[in-house]
Amino acid sequence: MRYVVVGGGIAAVSCVEELSSLDSESEIVLISASKVVKAVSNVRQTGHVMEEFDVVEKAAEDLSTKRNNVSVIFDYCCRIDSDRSEVHMKNGLILKYDKICLATGGRPKLISDSEFVVGIRDTESVQSFQEKLKGCKRIMVVGNGGIASELIYELKNVEIIWAIKHKSIIATFIDAGAAQFLLSHMNNEPCSSGDIETVSKRWKYSHAPAPIEPQISFSTHGSALGPDWVNNVNATGCQQVPKNVHVEYECEVDHVIDSEQFLNENRNDESLLNTSLELERRNWKAYVRLTNGKVYGCDLLVSATGVSPNNCIPVVGHEVLCLADDGGVMVNDQMETSVKGVYAAGDLCTASWKWYPHWIQMRLWTQAKQMGLYAGKCMWLNQQEKKADLDLCFEIFTHVTKFFGFKIVLLGLFNSQTLRPDHEAHVREEYVKVLIQDGKVQGAILIGETDLEETMENLILNETDVTGLNLLDPSIDIEDYFD
């Protein structure tokens, strides 16, 4: 019996580890284009579903040295022949499989291929960014998700233009009210590592001290960044200026051109120079025209606009691999694709089963771990002609992160996803928001050390009737409901 897993991120490694623990007799092969993989360690359960853990970057070979039934092949998977149950690799090797899981992650959505544009997605791209940032006086950050906001908070000694397509910052995760709360802290200097532990008792992302060979130079992308990735980044520009972030709302990048081309095209356009004060009639390395008509000069543009499923491996055979509208590989509640024996997990896949009311899919490392573990379990049970029960982690969305130094807990339908317009939103000043519909808690956003996360998770999972109860009244001990 041979299981094959393709990828090098959290989903792939979690799948391999789960398979190895469940089936010590079978052969498990990891195919990775990189000799460095992401893994999860030191898991701490903080609720029924919520958990804290460390994300470590380590040599892929560690998986095989610690598990007798695991082997690692460093190569690029070119195609899968599902009729023959074969994996074809770049070096010519053909490997037979009984079950295979694709966990190739996502590829960054770069807004331009200009030399002055850098994407932030994996360890390699972060290293490139650090080198380019050293000579920058002004940068533009494009994107409104977790990576963009974390980077904005850590940047110093550089002017910052933040271009977002929404009406409020970090709209992927929080509503306008929470965004306004965080906005007042955006220009704060980052906490020291000691202070961060006080403000946000959170996961730590670290590099394992192991000699790592460079990534294979195929057309691949490294695995996604883990939590607190920015703590390892020197995000310092080349001029001593107070931190001041200028946000351009509801816009996207129209185009990026270099200094020479811009000056040639606009040499006589006095109206442009007069209305775009940021140009300052100096030669920036690049000029960015936004869709709102504004033009900014900068030394570097950081593209942090998310990822697309990295569905780059052809699956050939009489069965067709079905893709969702978002480009993800469709999987059922067993994490199996439309091709028998072929599974998918993590950023690559799109959950195509009927979702529980309080769960949504977001391409985050928390769900990569959950999907990887569950895929391994499903592959093992399906091989025995058994079906896995859908894991509890797919009954409620939970995510813990950090923005601008504050711990952020997102639960259930935290941003009113799929709720009717008549739902109630209870908000407390520091910022706690609880979403209620039909007398039951449907979601919550918790900012800071509120100590409410486990309680809110219980209220959502148990579907407790909270009609007439002021959940945010400090004098009410909600935990009494669970004694």
Range with the largest mean pLDDT of 25-39, 190-204, 252-266: 25-39
Indicate if the pLDDT at residue 262 is higher than 90.
no
Q: Does the residue 171 lie in any domain?
A: yes
Over the stretch 163-174, which tens digit does the pLDDT of each residue have?
Answer: 999 999 999 899
Q: Are residues 336 and 317 in the same domain?
A: yes
**pLDDT score for 198:** 31
0.75 exceeded by pTM: yes
Indicate if the pLDDT at residue 352 is higher than 70.
yes
Unique residue bearing structure tokens 């960054």:
108
Q: Does the residue 316 lie in any domain?
A: yes
Question: Residue range 164-189: average pLDDT?
Answer: 89
CATH number at residue 466: 3.30.390.30
Q: Are residues 120 and 198 in the same domain?
A: yes
Q: Are residues 100 and 128 in the same domain?
A: no
Q: Does the residue 399 lie in any domain?
A: no
**pLDDT score for 270:** 47
Assess contact for 7 and 34: CB atoms under 8 A: no
**pLDDT score for 94:** 97
Q: Are residues 119 and 102 in the same domain?
A: no
Indicate if the pLDDT at residue 209 is higher than 90.
no
What is the number of other CB atoms lying within 10 angstroms of the CB of residue 351? 19
Q: Are residues 129 and 146 in the same domain?
A: yes
Indicate if the pLDDT at residue 430 is higher than 80.
no
Res. 211 pLDDT band, cuts 50 70 90: very low
Over the stretch 81-101, which tens digit does the pLDDT of each residue have?
Answer: 999 999 999 999 999 999 999
**pLDDT score for 459:** 93
Give the residue numbers spanning the domain of 168.
Answer: 110-202+220-303
Tell me 340's DSSP state: T
* Between 161 and 131, residue with greater pLDDT: 161
Question: Any bridge partners for residue 399, and if so which?
Answer: 410
Res. 479 pLDDT band, cuts 50 70 90: low
Over the stretch 110-121, which tens digit does the pLDDT of each residue have?
Answer: 887 778 888 876
Assess contact for 258 and 286: CB atoms under 8 A: yes
Q: Does the residue 214 lie in any domain?
A: no
Of 199, 171, 205, 254, nearest to 42 by C-alpha is 205
Q: Are residues 231 and 82 in the same domain?
A: no
Question: Any bridge partners for residue 63, and if so which?
Answer: none
| 397 residue type, one letter | F
Q: Are residues 155 and 282 in the same domain?
A: yes
Q: Are residues 115 and 95 in the same domain?
A: no
Question: Residue range 311-317: average pLDDT?
Answer: 94
Indicate if the pLDDT at residue 80 is higher than 50.
yes
Q: Are residues 97 and 148 in the same domain?
A: no
**How far is Cα 348 from Cα 107, in angstroms, rounded to an integer?**
9
Q: Does the residue 441 lie in any domain?
A: yes
Q: Does the residue 98 lie in any domain?
A: yes
Indicate if the pLDDT at residue 199 is higher than 50.
no
Q: Does the residue 212 lie in any domain?
A: no
- Lowest-pLDDT choice from 48-62, 77-91, 236-250, 352-366: 236-250
CATH number at residue 364: 3.50.50.60
**Final residue belonging to a domain, choices 242, 275, 303:** 303
**pLDDT score for 422:** 66
**Final residue belonging to a domain, choices 358, 391, 424:** 391
Q: Are residues 183 and 287 in the same domain?
A: yes
Tell how strand 70-74 and strand 51-59 pair up.
Answer: unpaired
Res. 215 pLDDT band, cuts 50 70 90: very low
Assess contact for 461 and 412: CB atoms under 8 A: no
Q: Are residues 286 and 148 in the same domain?
A: yes
Q: Residue 343 contacts by C-beta under 8 Å, 6 or more apart in sequence?
A: 99, 100, 101, 102, 331, 334, 335, 336, 337, 375, 378, 379
Residues in the chain: 483
Q: Does the residue 364 lie in any domain?
A: yes
**Final residue belonging to a domain, choices 272, 303, 334:** 303
**pLDDT score for 264:** 72
Q: Are residues 418 and 475 in the same domain?
A: yes
Overall domain count for the chain: 3
Question: Residue range 191-199: average pLDDT?
Answer: 41
Indicate if the pLDDT at residue 45 is higher than 60.
yes
Indicate if the pLDDT at residue 43 is higher than 90.
no
